[in-house]
Structure 1
């Protein structure tokens, strides 16, 4: 599967085994082959850092409209960064390896190998084998949700059956070839089936924060339904995820920024990388229901926040302390522009994301009081209690939904979430008139040197050329 879908040379998973397995196991593995014969062998596969600590430069992190760029720094970025920020049709050169796709395909191969083979091992109990298979199924669903949101149109019920998505790959077969794109609807149905199948056998708590659990899978299923606009179904899954989390006293919990930024707090002292918070220290994962991070090193130099983004924060909002008025080299950013200290984007299932997604589905299903309660649950941990209540002028359903989307910007600005929200909201009548722009600021930090408009077609990325070359006849996106 790997070498034909996406032409990448190498020894498949040999690097993986050098990291994960004992030397005496390596000594009996034929070169270029993957052999796992025990439950432990298969379980070790899910511990590789490629599943949770990614360094693959996912350029969608540059594509949210909450961001701007400071020209004197950002103009020195590589060409792919510049193209992604400008929402160009072609981001990569033909010979480039798109690492965030390559890595996910590698992990998809591993998931399929576990799904299809682990029940054939002789050791372990049946429940242990089914739990590991369930974890691989749910992880496959996470991978496929990413792939269909990179390369398939935003989900729209009236067109999803005809919109090209991404191939549904269920076999760990390196000899398979000439894959065809499944429809967006088919990919979503496959994701839902994997998650529903996995949930019944997943543990309440994963072996590590990086491993899939029942509440993480339920939260992910809720997110899938949210992307599909099936809000009642999404709300049911979010409620079940919170019930599961409540049954585990060691489950994820929110940092209270009022305490974390106080003397002796968890986020202090400030260093060159800013506060010692999850965005600069991936070991601080108490808010992670499922920990998956991606390094932003190399793609965020010169990236700042739009003044309109910073205007969304009230004076007492302690999330403002996550921003700096200097570049990484400590030179001042001109014009009062600010950058976020973020080094690690959290892309798994975060407790704050679950709270805001449930708030949105509550608002969309007319439970305005419940939505406001969820908002307060998050906001009272981010600012003074006096400002944590939803403002009184946010009174209608539409007002509240828009406020929740703005809260998502306040919570996740600069962390790679926004482009995916922009995608799904593009099919929502409430946001149908939204127009997205990027600005490049000149040396004074005030004058706009360049501006870029997002064409709706670029809510969908073009397929990497290597995939098209390896699969003759596969159609690309416009």
Structure 2
């Protein structure tokens, strides 16, 4: 492979040499379409998604006497998030991996977008794909950033609520404050709409965005904005390209092997996974499930015969067993954070329920659930219920199907804007009970202290309950 610029983001692409360290390996500057395309081929850079939301969500439970078993290096950050403290990254010198990773992706995309139109090369298709991928990847990064560090999109407040700094050029010396939530969403939508005109319907490897993946992200964007017709249209466009669902009855644990060895015949590589339209993975802090449990509330959501629970709960992992119950296990050996067909069915179902078409919503829920239950235990949801009843079932199925994907935290934020769906979260740890009210400022993750110290233009989110 040609040697091109290797871009290393030390902390944050906020326009300061103390933040951004660009080191060259070799002497070649990207000048051709092929060079720029290689930048977009950085699998390890672009597959990364959030970890912060797993610290704070309500799906896992910890016990103080088992925390020492969690041998991932971020236990202190995990506990700060778990207790909904004001700062996950309390150390002013600490790097927030979410902030750094997403701005690193944005910087690479901006380099490509700055050069692609004038780059040398006659391959028009490759030029279009490279530009489309850069637009799509930038949009995904900003979508995650604004939902982690900003308030949820609210049509009446989005022009004043603060989002994140917007960078559309690779200028490391240009410091900026925070754009509004609306400004960030406007950029996301514009990037994705343009990417649709440049990308093919599918790509050979799903870690490269395609029209299918971009339609799926647009469906999610419009869902979060509460624009149900637009979300429905894009969900249907994505499903028209890929509507695959695995039937869990076709898989089981490998006979004679411990369950953590995986499922016989089930794809473990992202590029083989036929439910994935666009690969993104959560960098989760409990890879082996040691010392981490599913909450009782989440466990109560599963009906008898649900193979999703059967695959998620195993007796022990290679590093041992938990003291108080089963190990949380991912049959993929990673948690998805991209665009996948099961969520598209759920988005379409929610939109139809919101648009007073409950039977269509229930139809999608039954299509999904039929592939997830033991054949003799599957009981379809009944037709003829109200839109509100269908919507409640959509929310339940989102929680079950999307367990330990980042969307639960964002769902809590968006549903807190609707009085009938607000919840107060509580948990007890080390003898202290912690709560998070729907109005709490701590639903919005704090901007890393290191970022603000190096760029005072960035305003901190209000903190405290």
Same fold (TM over 0.5): yes
> What is the alpha-carbon distance in structure 1 between the residues aligned to residue 254 and residue 262 of structure 2?
15
Question: 1:293 is matched with which residue: 272, 281, 285?
Answer: 281
1:452 to 2:410 alignment: no
Q: Which structure 2 residues correspond to residues 189-338 of structure 1 after superposition, within 5 A?
A: 189-245=186-242, 253-261=244-252, 270-272=258-260, 274-275=262-263, 282=270, 284-298=272-286, 301-321=290-310, 322-326=312-316, 329-334=319-324, 336=325
Q: SS of the counterpart of 1:272?
A: helix
- Tell me if structure 2 keeps the 8 A contact 1:7–1:467: no
**Number of the residue aligned with 1:438:** 427
Shift in Å at residue 426 of structure 1? 1.3
1:64 to 2:60 alignment: no
- Tell me if structure 2 keeps the 8 A contact 1:7–1:470: no
What value does the CA root-mean-square deviation take over the aligned residues? 2.7
> What is the alpha-carbon distance in structure 1 between the residues aligned to residue 263 and residue 384 of structure 2?
32
1:73-112 superposed Cα distances (whole Å, 9 cap, x missing partner):
2256521110011111111111001112111111101111
- Tell me if structure 2 keeps the 8 A contact 1:304–1:340: no
- Tell me if structure 1 keeps the 8 A contact 2:17–2:172: no
Shift in Å at residue 222 of structure 1? 1.0
**Number of the residue aligned with 2:77:** 80
1:413-432 superposed Cα distances (whole Å, 9 cap, x missing partner):
23333112111111123303
> What is the alpha-carbon distance in structure 2 between the residues aligned to residue 413 and residue 90 of structure 1?
24
**Number of the residue aligned with 1:12:** 22
Deviates more, 1:187-196 or 1:410-419: 410-419
- Tell me if structure 2 keeps the 8 A contact 1:216–1:349: yes
Deviates more, 1:272-281 or 1:315-324: 272-281
**Number of the residue aligned with 2:118:** 120
TM superposition score normalised by structure 2: 0.87
> What is the alpha-carbon distance in structure 1 between the residues aligned to residue 413 and residue 229 of structure 2?
20
Shift in Å at residue 337 of structure 1? 5.6
Closer, same or farther: CA 189–298 of 1 in aligned 2, 3 Å? same
**Number of the residue aligned with 2:338:** 348
Shift in Å at residue 324 of structure 1? 2.2
1:466 to 2:450 alignment: yes
**Number of the residue aligned with 2:134:** 136
**Number of the residue aligned with 1:23:** none
> What is the alpha-carbon distance in structure 1 between the residues aligned to residue 55 and residue 280 of structure 2?
18
Shift in Å at residue 208 of structure 1? 1.5
**Number of the residue aligned with 1:96:** 94
Question: 1:105 is matched with which residue: 100, 103, 106?
Answer: 103
> What is the alpha-carbon distance in structure 1 between the residues aligned to residue 264 and residue 395 of structure 2?
27
Question: 1:161 is matched with which residue: 144, 159, 162?
Answer: 159
Closer, same or farther: CA 125–280 of 1 in aligned 2, 3 Å? closer
- Tell me if structure 2 keeps the 8 A contact 1:180–1:474: yes
- Tell me if structure 2 keeps the 8 A contact 1:282–1:344: no
- Tell me if structure 1 keeps the 8 A contact 2:15–2:173: no
Unaligned 5+ segments in structure 2 are 1-8
Unaligned 5+ segments in structure 1 are 19-25, 30-34, 246-251, 443-448
- Tell me if structure 1 keeps the 8 A contact 2:16–2:174: no
1:47 to 2:29 alignment: no
> What is the alpha-carbon distance in structure 2 between the residues aligned to residue 293 and residue 277 of structure 1?
21
Closer, same or farther: CA 437–390 of 1 in aligned 2, 3 Å? farther
**Number of the residue aligned with 1:423:** 413
Q: Which structure 2 residues correspond to residues 376-415 of structure 1 after superposition, within 5 A?
A: 376-385=366-375, 387-392=377-382, 395-415=385-405
> What is the alpha-carbon distance in structure 2 between the residues aligned to residue 39 and residue 349 of structure 1?
27
> What is the alpha-carbon distance in structure 1 between the residues aligned to residue 300 and residue 404 of structure 2?
15
Closer, same or farther: CA 257–3 of 1 in aligned 2, 3 Å? closer
1:270-314 superposed Cα distances (whole Å, 9 cap, x missing partner):
443554697976565221100111332457642211122112112
> What is the alpha-carbon distance in structure 1 between the residues aligned to residue 204 and residue 260 of structure 2?
33
> What is the alpha-carbon distance in structure 1 between the residues aligned to residue 426 and residue 326 of structure 2?
17
TM superposition score normalised by structure 1: 0.85
Q: SS of the counterpart of 1:12?
A: strand
Deviates more, 1:139-148 or 1:361-370: 361-370
- Tell me if structure 2 keeps the 8 A contact 1:270–1:276: no
> What is the alpha-carbon distance in structure 2 between the residues aligned to residue 229 and residue 129 of structure 1?
34
> What is the alpha-carbon distance in structure 1 between the residues aligned to residue 337 and residue 60 of structure 2?
18
**Number of the residue aligned with 1:171:** 169
> What is the alpha-carbon distance in structure 2 between the residues aligned to residue 132 and residue 171 of structure 1?
16
Shift in Å at residue 326 of structure 1? 3.6
